[in-house]
Every structure is written in C-alpha cells, then in structure tokens.
Amino acid sequence: MTNSKRFVVPIVLSMVLVLAGLAAAADQSGTPQVIKITAKRFEYNPNVIKIKTGVPVIFEFTSLDRVHGFTVPDLGGIRQTIEPGKVNRITILAPKAGTYEFRCDLFCGEGHEGMTGKIIVED
C-alpha cells in the first residue's frame, strides 16, 4: 500500500461517519426526507421510489396537467389527491420491507389503468 492509499482510507471512513452522523441528526431533528414526484397522464416521475423501513418520508406531488390520485393499497390504503397548481404532500411510513405498488385512483383517461409505480422499502 502506498502512502497516499494509506491516507485515503481513513478519510473515506471519516466521511462515511460524518454522513451517517448527519443522517442521524436529521432523523433526530424530526425533519423527514422529502421526495418530489410529478404526475401527468399517465405516469409518475419517478415511478420507482426507494425508502427505508420505519423512517417517515414526505412525498411531495405536483400535477403537470389535471387532477390525479395516488394510493398505495397495501400500505393501509393511504391516498392523496394531486391537484394541479398546488403542492400536495403525504407522509409515508412503511413498517415492513417489501415492494408496494402505487397507482392513480382518480380516473384520468385512456391510460389510467397503467398509471402506476412502486415503492421499494428496504431495512
């Protein structure tokens, strides 16, 4: 191992510890992570969202065209109406790891049935 490599390892380790500490501080401060999601006929962006088990996350929706819905049937049926011209927020807290489908639950036209996405919850 060269001198530079010996030097790099402790720096990287300390950066990880700092980031972990910041994350812990964020959790302790009670400020949940915010994930911005746009909705338009007939898709969400992003449509695959990763979150952690037991950590509250705010989903912040905006619609780019008309009224849409958001529901996760297997997460207690939580739902949110997404109105154009407004920022619509919902807090997600997944108690268990897994993949949860979400979908638009306000009929929005021909591709409505395909307006779906996934929340991947990891421990």
Residues near another protein (CB under 8 A) are 67, 69, 73-74, 77, 101, 103, 105-110, 112-114, 116
Least Cβ distance, residue 107 to another protein (angstroms): 3
Q: In whole angstroms, how close is the CB of 120 to another protein at the nearest point? A: 15
Q: Which residue has the tokens 């036209």?
A: 109
The tokens describing 32, both together, are 């949940």
Phi and psi (nearest 5°) for 45?
-140, 115
Considering the complex, what minimum distance in angstroms separates the CB of residue 58 from another protein?
23
Whether residue 96 contacts residue 73, with contact meaning beta carbons closer than 8 Å, is answered with no
Give the 3-state secondary structure of residue 25: helix
Cβ-based nearer residue to another protein, 21 or 73 = 73
Q: Is the peptide bond before 42 cis (omega within 30 degrees of 0)?
A: yes
Q: Which is nearer to another protein, 8 or 65 (CB)?
A: 65
Residue 65 or 122: the one with the smaller Cβ distance to another protein is: 65
